[in-house]
Amino acid sequence: MTMKTPIFTGSCTAIITPYDHDGSINFNKMAELIDFQAENGTAALVVCGTTGENATQTVEEHEEIVDFCTQHNNGRMKIIAGIGSNDTMTALRLGKSAMKSGADAVLMITPYYNKATQQGLVKHFSYVADRVDLPMILYNVPSRTGVGISVDTYKELSKHPNINGIKEASSDFTLFARTRAVCGDDMNIWCGNDDQIVPMMSLGALGVISVASNIVPAQVAEICRLCLDGNFADGAKLFLEYVELFSDLFIEVNPIPVKTAMNLMGMDVGTFRLPLCDMYPNNLEKLKAAMRKNGLIQ
């Protein structure tokens, strides 16, 4: 098999969805956030991913957001539409809609709640990849979905021409290393955890799909650039300056801390949709301390 051209290299922001105070989507703010990312070295955006609160959006809202972001971006960055669902047919609908909107790729999480066997995962991802003519990134985050992708399943899925790569967020370095060894250039891999960027890139990850880059896009992009250039010493130095912040952005379930941080920085991205809610006061103080340390707030 020939090497699969990666959808992007460097930093991809899993962008939040800003809401007005009545809970509707704030598209004016979304446009501002897209511009902010484009101006700060971000290579790609994941729209309607976990960080974008896709779990509490209707299919119609989801399609509207992807459409808006693709048009407003206007080719500046790659647009990757989250299409994950525990219903294969819903994922297919979202994938076809992303194609119509002009997205560059799709991101598809493992099915949650109903989960799946490894055979079921192969069938689930392949069914959509057979019918949506866009590069697909598989998303492995068993802490959220209750099911993980095995090395053998990655190997099987790497044979599919439309399956371009993996957002690997299992925190399992052995799984990651074995997948790299087995799949080689048939499967591009991106780091799925901000607090693991440099070690994963040292083993061949091509960048990160990042939550932290919602607030520090230039810094995350620079960490990735240094690693891609083979300058892991300087990449690690910069990474270590921010690793506490990267970690504290997950002190409560994502995207609660990052949206809270954006509001603390005056970005006015609105509230959350239930069941997400405001941070516990002690966690809020810890987040503020990490932000002060990096000069993000006074």
- Whether residue 51 is contained in a domain is answered as yes
Query: Of the listed 139, 154, 242, 259, which one is catalytic?
Result: 139
The answer to whether the bond into 255 is cis (omega within 30° of 0) is yes
Q: Give a yes or no: residue 105 inside a domain.
A: yes
User: Could you check whether the bond before residue 275 is cis, i.e. omega within 30 degrees of 0?
Assistant: yes
- What's the number of domains the chain is made of? 1
pTM, entire model: 0.96
58 belongs to a structural domain: yes
In this prediction, residue 211 carries a pLDDT of 98
Is residue 296 a part of any domain in this protein?
A: no
Is 100 an active-site residue? Answer: no
Q: What pLDDT does residue 144 have? A: 87
Q: What is the pLDDT of residue 61?
A: 97
Segment 77-94, tens digit of pLDDT: 999 999 999 999 999 999
Q: Is residue 116 part of a domain?
A: yes
Asked whether residue 283 is domain-assigned, the answer is: no
| pLDDT beyond 80 at 1 | no
CATH of the domain at 123: 3.20.20.70
Q: What is the pLDDT of residues 107-134, one digit of tens each?
A: 999 999 999 999 999 999 999 999 999 9
194 belongs to a structural domain? yes
> Strand, helix or coil at 21?
coil
> Catalytic residue at 112?
no
Annotated catalytic residue, options 19, 167, 242, 259: 167
Sign for the CA dihedral angle at 220, 107, 45, 162 comes to positive
Contact indicator for 166, 205 with CB cutoff of 8 Å: no
Containing structural domain, residue 96: 10-229
